[in-house]
Copies of this chain bind each other. A is one copy, B any other.
Amino acid sequence: MEQNKKTPISSLGEFGLIRHLTENITLENASSKYGVGDDCAVLEYPNSQVLVSTDLLMEGVHFDLTYVPLKHLGYKAIMVNLSDIYAMNGTPRQVTVSLAISKRFGVEDVEELYAGMRLACEAHHVDIVGGDTTSSYTGLAISITVIGDAPKDKITYRNGAKETDLICVSGNLGAAYMGLQLLEREKSVFMGESDAQPDFSGKEYLLERQLKPEARRDIVAALAEAGVKPTAMIDISDGLSSELMHICKQSGTGCRVYEEHIPLDYQTAVMAEEFNMNVSTCALNGGEDYELLFTVPLADYDKVSKLKDIRLVGHITKPELGCMLVTRDGGEMELKAQGWQALNEA
């Protein structure tokens, strides 16, 4: 960000800034009755259950502005939240956005951030209905609350997995984590801490997975179309191991996951090799893929196996069998939740 030529936020004031950022927002959803401009937004959900999830993202903990463009940050901040609604088998409808902005940001910076947020919302037909902007003495803080709906009988919790259920994963895993490693390496080059040459060519996919993840609206739609209701579902933000253990713990079950079935992109494997990392470990513990992990009854095998971009990775077991990874050589290893725990890092 250039320090010059920026319009100071104080020239607009708090209310002016909100007006400026939210003008021309047209509400797309029937459930959005009233948006920005009063003490509250007003919504109406007469026939569905309402899903609510919230996330607080802090500069330095969740994002690093030395390599994350503000527009991407805005996009991702929204996506991460929409993903929580999809993980309940629901449809996101509204978000509220609160920003705490430090002095080094100008109006143009906040516009960039907001542009990314609006882009993500438009792509998923979600309305921005409220928010708050304030100053911060320190870093940028972004708080997003997402609201969505689902018919009562469609909502999928984490606690519904049953013995013999199949474990499914959308897309592929570990790519976002590899993208982060790439960006961190680039940063250390930039900071003069490393002699490695940054080289992103052929690795655009990994960067995109890290910087511009896509919440899996399409998977929720495909499952509905195929007449499959998962017995349990969660989105993969902290790594496959950690999320599987949430499902097993809350469902009172164990599981077997097969290393050879974990979906990997070719670039993820190449990059892991380059970094001298075990690619399965990256897929199991690397976070931020925002893919969906879900279980379906064995009877749905035919339906699920026909769906594009969904991979069967294992099955649910009795609790006393534990949560195990079956390795390529046929051995068994206990899964560990050593995922991305923001709280322990700072």
Could you give, for residues 102-143 of chain A, a 1 whenever the CB lies within 8 Å of some chain B CB and a 0 otherwise?
110000000000000000000000000111111111110101
Copies in the complex: 2
Flag whether A193 is at the interface (Cβ < 8 A). Answer: no
Q: Contacts of A234 on B, CB cut-off 8 Å? A: 39
A37 at the interface (CB under 8 A from B): yes
Instruction: Assess whether A327 is interfacial by the CB under 8 Å rule.
Output: no
A46 to B52, CA, bound (A): 16
A288 close to B (CB within 8 Å)? no
Tell me whether A17 is interfacial, beta carbon within 8 Å: yes
Best-buried of A55, A60, A101, A136 by chain B (most CB within 10 Å)? A136
Distance between A255 CB and nearest chain B CB, rounded to angstroms = 18
Judge whether B143 and A346 touch: CB under 8 Å. Answer: no
Kindly provide the distance from the CB of A275 to the nearest chain B CB, expressed in whole angstroms.
26
Cβ–Cβ contact A341 & B61, under 8 A:
no
A34-70 CB contacts (< 8 Å) to partner B: 34, 37-47, 49-62
- Residue in B38, B50, B135 whose beta carbon sits within 8 Å of that of A58 in the complex: B135
What 7 A-B pairs have minimum CB-CB distances, sorted nearest first?
A138-B138, A135-B346, A143-B143, A56-B98, A14-B343, A40-B51, A39-B87
Could you list 13 examples of A-B contacts with CB < 8 Å?
A: A9-B343, A10-B343, A14-B344, A17-B343, A39-B158, A40-B52, A40-B53, A42-B50, A59-B137, A61-B100, A96-B145, A134-B343, A135-B343
